[in-house]
Structure 1
Amino acid sequence: MTAALISWGKGRRAAAAIGAVSLGLITLSACEKPTALATVTAGTTTVTAEATPGCDGDGKVLDKKTIETCVTKKGGETITVRPGEKVRVGVDPSVAKSGWIVIGGGPVMREASKETYRSFDAETLFAKQDPQTGQTTYVKEITLQVAEMGAGEGPTTMWHFTLKQKD
């Protein structure tokens, strides 16, 4: 009789430990990989967002139709930007490893970045050039898009932020 050799206190502790380990393993097996985040900061305000619904290819390059849909999406987290401020965009290190770009009314970055953080002048983001006349005007609101690039083949994930210019 082995049970008689184990004191009641030690048996209870062992059973509790086995139960805790089992519960921990079950909990971990139910977890999904955490979603990468993108962050935008203007002045002292910061907003963070998960990938825009429908714009996360889970590591695979988005198909052409999905890209077209995602590029035209509006909304996302909103942040107010004052004239003259820097707008800082940050991504998770896993996104930086793949490379990422920022689009805001037009291309903001010419090449994908492997850094986790970039900053931009507010005037650059809110400027819109008329293709007919070549004149630059400034808009009051833009949708800033952050796109993770999959090995240069196209975006795999996109985040959307609304930037509003403070009067």
Structure 2
Amino acid sequence: MTAALISWGKGRRAAAAIGAVSLGLITLSACEKPTPLATVTAGSTTVTSEVTPGCDGEGKVLDKKTIESCLSKKGGKTITVSPGEKVRIGVEPEVAKSGWIVIGGGPVMREPSKETYRSFDAEALFAMQNPQTGQTSYTKEVTLQIAELGGDAGGPKAMWHFTLKQKD
């Protein structure tokens, strides 16, 4: 009778171990690598977003059709910016390592950045330059696009979209 109890105990432990390993493998297979985050802060308000759906090349440069589609997208998370405020933009270290650039209403960044954080005057983000006349006007709302650049190819690998609204 004792031998039967010992055997049953070992079987239970083995079954529990197999069950735990199986559950762990199922859990791991359901996990996806999270997309990097971008963060925009104005005053005391911060919004964070994953890559815009359809604008993630998963480490590879986006094709021309996808880039055009992503550049025409509007929206994303919204943040209100007061006149004269600084707008701070942050990206994760892996994005900074690749290099990134901000695209707004006008030319926001002349050169790609390898830093995880940059700060901009709100006026620069709301400025719209007319390509025909060269005159600058200001808009009340702009879609801010952050693009992770792809190494030697230089094109974007991923893009984030945020809507900036100017506070009255």
**What is the TM-score normalised by the length of structure 2?**
0.88
- The amino acid across from 1:161 in the alignment is F
- In 2, the alpha carbon distance for the partners of 1:68 and 1:161 equals 17
Q: Aligned pair count?
A: 165
Are the structure 2 counterparts of residues 152 and 123 from structure 1 closer, same or farther at C-alpha, using a change threshold of 3 Å?
farther
Question: What value does the CA root-mean-square deviation take over the aligned residues?
Answer: 1.9
- Structure 2, unmatched stretches of 5+, are none
In structure 2, the residue matched to 1:149 is 149
Q: CA deviation at 1:150?
A: 0.5
User: Matched residues in 2 for 1:71 and 1:14: separation?
Assistant: 55
Q: Following superposition of structure 1 onto structure 2, how do residues 1-167 of structure 1 map, counting pairs within 5 Å?
A: 4=4, 6=6, 11-153=11-153, 154-167=155-168
Instruction: Indicate the SS of the match to 1:159.
Output: strand
- Among all aligned residue pairs of Structure 1 and Structure 2, give the percentage whose two residues are the same amino acid: 84
For the residue of structure 2 that corresponds to 1:74, the secondary structure is: coil
TM-score between the two structures when normalised by the length of structure 1: 0.89
Q: Which runs of 5+ in 1 are unaligned?
A: none
Deviation string, structure 1 residues 53-88 (Cα, Å, up to 9, x no partner): 211111111111211111111111111001111111
Amino acid at match of 2:135: Q
- Deviation string 1:99-156 (CA, Å, 9 cap, x unpaired) is 1110001331112111111111101111122333333221100000000100042001
Return structure 1 stretches of 4+ with deviation > 4 angstroms.
7-11
Q: Secondary structure at the match of 2:24?
A: helix
